[in-house]
């Protein structure tokens, strides 16, 4: 980024950051129905549920109801 103005360098930095895995995603450590720890990610496009062996993405348009069983 040598030779670029500060504003241009900042724009390139932001563009690079937006390409990082997990950008714009809030993650939470939760437990599934079996008590196993799972990662729940919330993004602008939907929800990601990542378990030990798999990951599932649900688009907001596909979600009809969200339940919270807090203990």
Average pLDDT over residues 23-27: 89
Q: Are 61 and 45 in contact (CB under 8 A)?
A: no
Instruction: Provide the pLDDT for residue 33.
Output: 81
How far apart (Å, rounded) are the C-alpha atoms in residues 43 and 23?
A: 9
Residue 34, token pair as written in the block: 């079996």
Largest CA distance in the chain: 56
Residue 28 has pLDDT above 70, yes or no: yes
Q: Which residue has the higher pLDDT, 32 or 39?
A: 39
Q: What is the percent of the chain with per-residue pLDDT over 90, rounded to a whole number?
A: 54
Using a cut of 0.75, tell me whether the model's pTM lies above it.
Answer: no
* Domain locations along the chain: 24-65
Q: Report the run of H or E that residue 49 belongs to, with start and end.
A: strand 46-50
Q: Which residue has the higher pLDDT, 40 or 22?
A: 40
Q: How confident is the model at residue 71 (pLDDT cuts 50, 70, 90)?
A: low
Helix (H, G, I), strand (E, B) or coil at 39: strand
Strand partners, 38: 30
């Amino acid at each position: 980024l040598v030779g670029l103005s500060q504003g241009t360098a900042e724009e390139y930095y932001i563009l690079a950051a937006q390409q990082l895995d997990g950008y714009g995603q809030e993650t939470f450590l939760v437990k599934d129905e079996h008590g196993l720890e799972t990662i729940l990610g919330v993004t602008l496009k939907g929800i990601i549920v990542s378990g030990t062996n798999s990951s599932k993405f649900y688009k907001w348009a596909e979600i009809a109801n969200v339940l919270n069983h807090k203990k």
